[in-house]
Structure 1
């Protein structure tokens, strides 16, 4: 089966300076570049990595801000020793030391996540800090390793976008117990006293389902992966159920299949995406009474759309689809009916809470906040004949 380009989930490539910084950082921490060793001049480094002088300078600036290198006038740039002599420090450039903040995130996409990232980065920059980002691609082991790496680098606080799953990362639990400055975005971890900044997912799913019911649909499927243990999906499913109950309609469990995998690593694989489309096709074939779908994530909406194309279903005439987020409606002529989450507010509020912890103004057991989203009507739903 041929899949259209729409299914591909776009990831944001890391800036060149970040890639150079990460490589040099790892070589320093591993001892490959020894403590006290003189780094090559910036023109040589620029030539080695095939980048501009500005890019190399930015990478070295971050290393300097983190205390991994030291610049000495007239001598060059050295990997920092455990202790510098008076002679060595006499020529060191005096620069401000902004606070490094770590951000652990499954991925950053134009469909969801880039506005959270922008909100975080802007709020940190205004406070004189800088952001170090680690991607986990939805893998719990990568998440745990990323948190440890950032702590080794000396970050002053952490913003974590947790992976889906039933079990908590022990590193996150440890941070909570040790009162290390940490906040969560997008997802809540119940019973762990860490501030979280999320959308009002229950109300969002309620609004999507209510809209489809208002359009005349009564057999509405809820497409997601396994719901148990993921607070975001549990809340969205609860909103879907609440809208049905408010309309005095039963919820058929057969219309709520957990047919997708949870991991972000799979979502980058074309074979996996084709498999998801095929699974959605099979679901539509067996549930011929379904006329509308609430897709718990944007990717799932794309799988449903591709399945409809393969089956010859017209959207929205034969199948209506409502989902969460997606590309900005102003930049695309066709878009799904969706809930537009206030991602920027999530990121900004998370930084405000984190900074208060860092400055010892609060502890990390403050109340979490839920942020309302907006229903955006698109081309994937319409009124049907009753």
Structure 2
């Protein structure tokens, strides 16, 4: 079992004091000095020093430093850490959709016997996410896994972790402009594969349905994959076939599902040439199927529908053709990578997993 990095530093300093390397009244290394010596983040070194203070082994003088306690009994150390395993903060936007719940399940499974997890939910709100991260840091977690609310504008707390080299891994999304370790689906590859599949069935008029909020690399990469698929066929993208105004699928929806179904119905009626829909989220595919049926279109005979993800064990036996993401591999890799970083690994790595296309009941070759 790996000992948390701050515990290693704490134990090293405590042993140095017990061995007499630092005598009563001596100043011990500062947060910065410990950070440089042990090649750790300032946050980690700060936590190690705080443990020594709580145990009465050392005391602090504002503006001067941290000094060894003169009380000999204090050197024995009364601090007993609550956690024998590393403590990790996991910040998710939501637990509700099938992708997030499967990802969460696989992260928990991968963490078994390796670390403890504090789970928090941001609901996709940047301000709430920033508050959660600050609370987790103040509580003293050893590392963090973050499913970011947004990727266009990252919080000051995340920037602080980058500067302090605090161990954290981004899940599903990447930040623009800062170097941060990321574990995600290769969304460009996945979306391109999806469009290629629909082309292969003879569909040329492909509608795209996406959430209105696209301030995240996940959706942006999916758009890029779609455009690449068209470019490789020397075919122009007809963006009139796209509807990017779905508002009901965010953690704090700005519309109801009923309103979005009506929006999709209007879009299909205004673009009668659409023979296939590529829904960038599973819940959007469900609404697209209902919208199609309400205007008399049969799925898949009149309208094929392809989406990302699909809940497991459908009771109806009817499934969408979908792009399956590698939640198991992502969960395991995120935990492994974070533990490596907590153990001193500093290199930034971006790991992207390919998606798999799973054929269901919602697509078929076009018939003229």
Q: Same fold (TM over 0.5)?
A: yes
Shift of 1:110: 5.4
Equivalent residue, structure 1, for 2:331 = 347
Note the 1:363-374 alignment, pairs <5 A: 363=346, 365-374=347-356
Q: Are the structure 2 counterparts of residues 266 and 314 from structure 1 closer, same or farther at C-alpha, using a change threshold of 3 Å?
A: farther
Candidates 269, 273, 279, aligned match of 2:263: 279
Candidates 88, 91, 100, aligned match of 1:113: 100
1:122 paired to 2:109: yes
Equivalent residue, structure 2, for 1:304 = 288
Equivalent residue, structure 2, for 1:42 = none
Distance in 1, matches of 2:263 and 2:248, equals: 15
Candidates 361, 365, 368, aligned match of 1:383: 365
Q: Are the structure 2 counterparts of residues 93 and 192 from structure 1 closer, same or farther at C-alpha, using a change threshold of 3 Å?
A: closer
Query: Which runs of 5 or more residues in structure 2 are unaligned?
Result: 1-52, 58-72
Note the 1:39-118 alignment, pairs <5 A: 97-109=84-96, 111-118=98-105
**Greater radius of gyration (CA):** 2
Shift of 1:90: 11
Q: Are the structure 2 counterparts of residues 345 and 244 from structure 1 closer, same or farther at C-alpha, using a change threshold of 3 Å?
A: same
- Corresponding residue SS for 2:366: coil
Shift of 1:232: 1.0
Equivalent residue, structure 2, for 1:171 = 157
Distance in 1, matches of 2:179 and 2:356, equals: 28
TM-score (norm 2): 0.75
Distance in 1, matches of 2:82 and 2:141, equals: 18
Describe the superposition over 1:128-167 as per-residue Cα deviations: whole angstroms up to 9, x where unpaired: x111111111111111111112112211100000114532
Query: Which runs of 5 or more residues in structure 1 are unaligned?
Result: 1-80
Distance in 2, matches of 1:103 and 1:90, equals: 31
Describe the superposition over 1:316-374 as per-residue Cα deviations: whole angstroms up to 9, x where unpaired: 111111000021256650111001101111111111111111111x11x4220100111
Equivalent residue, structure 1, for 2:26 = none
Distance in 2, matches of 1:154 and 1:192, equals: 24
1:141 paired to 2:123: no
Distance in 1, matches of 2:295 and 2:180, equals: 46
- Corresponding residue SS for 2:99: coil
Aligned residues between the structures? 301
Equivalent residue, structure 1, for 2:65 = none
Shift of 1:251: 0.5
- Corresponding residue SS for 2:98: coil
1:336 paired to 2:342: no
Candidates 232, 251, 259, aligned match of 2:237: 251
Tell me if the contact between 1:139 and 1:263 (Cα under 8 Å) persists in the aligned partners. Answer: no
Q: Are the structure 2 counterparts of residues 94 and 260 from structure 1 closer, same or farther at C-alpha, using a change threshold of 3 Å?
A: closer
Tell me if the contact between 1:323 and 1:336 (Cα under 8 Å) persists in the aligned partners. Answer: yes
Distance in 1, matches of 2:324 and 2:55, equals: 51
Describe the superposition over 1:302-327 as per-residue Cα deviations: whole angstroms up to 9, x where unpaired: 12112112212111111111000021
Distance in 2, matches of 1:328 and 1:276, equals: 25
Tell me if the contact between 1:212 and 1:292 (Cα under 8 Å) persists in the aligned partners. Answer: yes
